[in-house]
Amino acid sequence: MSSFFSWFVIIGTLASLLYFFLLLQMNRTGNKPGETTGHNYDGIEEYDNPLPAWWYWGFIFSIVFGIGYLLYYPGLGNFPGLSGWTQVGQLEAEQALAEARYGPIFAQYRDIPVAELANNPAAMKMGHRLFINNCAVCHGAAATGSFGFPNLTDSEWLWGGENIETTLTHGRTAAMPAWQSVLGDAGVQEVTEYVLQLAGREVDADLSARGEVHFTTYCTACHGPEAKGQAMFGAPDLTNEIWLYGNSRMRIEHVIKNGRNGVMPAFEPRLGADKVHILAAYVKSLSAG
């Protein structure tokens, strides 16, 4: 928060408390006990008596409490408060307590290989909860994926099925460059036709032949000379139709024209190595291969 808005909050808050106090005092000292205010409704007259003492001191206590609260906790602009409390600090303290209490439960599976752990029912119950809380928002509750997010229940792994734990630990960043400026509209159409041919679709033979030339020049470095993909780059196999962004001609043209940049976040900072290990085993158990 800037200094201007910090002082704006401080002055506004303290001025409000002062105003409430003065208003309370005026209502207490400006009365005429025994006299009416002139307000009469349905035969009932309103007297100009002061507030009851318990009510007055209740208001005073609330104002004093408010001032004390604002001094102790960070409620006045950039003033950090005398306690030094922050919501981040409280979160970290609670996380540390949770780690001390529950950490050993996850740590007992630390040295079990992922493939073996995938057959452990107790660990897989933990893995399922970790998946629902951290992964289902992108991959779906059933892990079948969605547009731009891979299906984790099949045998197709962009980065290799043996590298699941590495992917979860460090995350992944995939980059498909945009080829519009290099190929032009005609070249994009030709490469699209060739990619459709690779997947076994019926295509225009002439366009596909020209597209193969472009593909060999620009695409084989990542996708390989046989278009089978390369796990080291996260480049997908183009000879099947398991594509993250759709397999229609329009979708393929859009990807070639504009490129794609997929990001898989790193989960070790959030979950820790032991939970990542269990989660990797759970994801492995979902795969058909």
Looking up residue 206, the CATH number of its domain turns out to be 1.10.760.10
Domain identity same for 134 and 240: no
Buried/exposed code over 205-241 (b: 16+ C-beta within 10 A; e: otherwise): eebbebbbebbeebbeebbbeebebbeebbbbbbbee
Q: Is residue 81 part of a domain?
A: no
* Alpha-carbon span 87 to 83, nearest angstrom: 12
131, 273: one domain: yes
Residue 224 CA to its chain's centroid (Å): 34
- 82 domain-assigned: no
The pLDDT of residue 288: 60
On whether both 270 and 161 belong to a single domain, the answer is yes
Element (H, E) at 121: helix 121-134
229 and 189 share one domain: yes
Same domain, 43 and 150: no
Asked whether residue 252 is assigned to any structural domain, the reply reads yes
- Cβ proximity of 130 and 271 under 8 Å: yes
Q: How many CB atoms lie within 10 A of CB 144?
A: 14
Handedness of CA 239, 244, 250, 256 (dihedral sign): negative
Asked which of 46, 72, 98 is the last residue of a domain, the reply is: 72
- The answer to whether residues 65 and 194 belong to one domain is no
Specify whether 184 is located in the same domain as 252: yes
Q: How many domains does the chain have?
A: 3
Final residue before a domain boundary, out of 18, 40, 72? 72
Give domain status of residue 146, yes or no: yes
Helix then strand count (H, E) for the chain reads 13, 4
Task: Report the pLDDT value the prediction gives residue 46, as an integer from 0 to 100.
Answer: 82
> Is the same domain home to 133 and 182?
no
Do 17 and 29 belong to one domain? yes
36-41 vs 260-264, strand pairing mode: unpaired
Query: What is the pLDDT, as a whole number, of residue 227?
Result: 95
Q: Does residue 207 form part of some domain?
A: yes
From residue 60, how far is each of 32, 66, 129 by CA, in Å? Answer: 22, 10, 50
Closest Cα to residue 171, out of 216, 225, 135?
Answer: 135
- Tell me how far CA of residue 131 lies from CA of 94, 161, 226, in angstroms: 22, 17, 35
Q: H-helix or E-strand containing 206?
A: helix 205-218
Residue at a domain's end among 41, 72, 103:
72
Q: What is the pLDDT of residue 289?
A: 52
Q: Is residue 77 assigned to a domain? A: no
Whole-angstrom distance, CA of residue 46 vs CA of residue 53 = 19
Angle (CA) 122-131-145 rounded to 5° is 130
Q: Give the pLDDT score at 35.
A: 80
Structural contact between residues 221 and 200, judged by C-beta atoms closer than 8 angstroms: no
In a domain, 83, yes or no: no
Which two three-digit tokens encode residue 97?
């307590």
Inside any domain, residue 251:
yes
194 by Cβ neighbours in 10 Å (0-12 / 13-18 / 19+) ranks as: buried
Task: Give the residue among 180, 160, 172 at the shortest CA–CA distance from 237.
Answer: 160
- Contacts of residue 159, defined as CB under 8 A and 6 or more positions apart, other chains included, come to 166, 167, 172, 231, 234
Residues lower than pLDDT 70 in the chain? 288-289
3-state secondary structure of 275: helix
Q: Is 200 exposed, middle or buried (0-12, 13-18, 19+ CB in 10 A)?
A: exposed
Q: What is the pLDDT of residue 183?
A: 95
Q: Are residues 129 and 198 in the same domain?
A: no
Question: Does 178 share its domain with 259?
Answer: yes
Q: Which domain holds residue 197?
A: 174-264
273 and 252 in a common domain: no
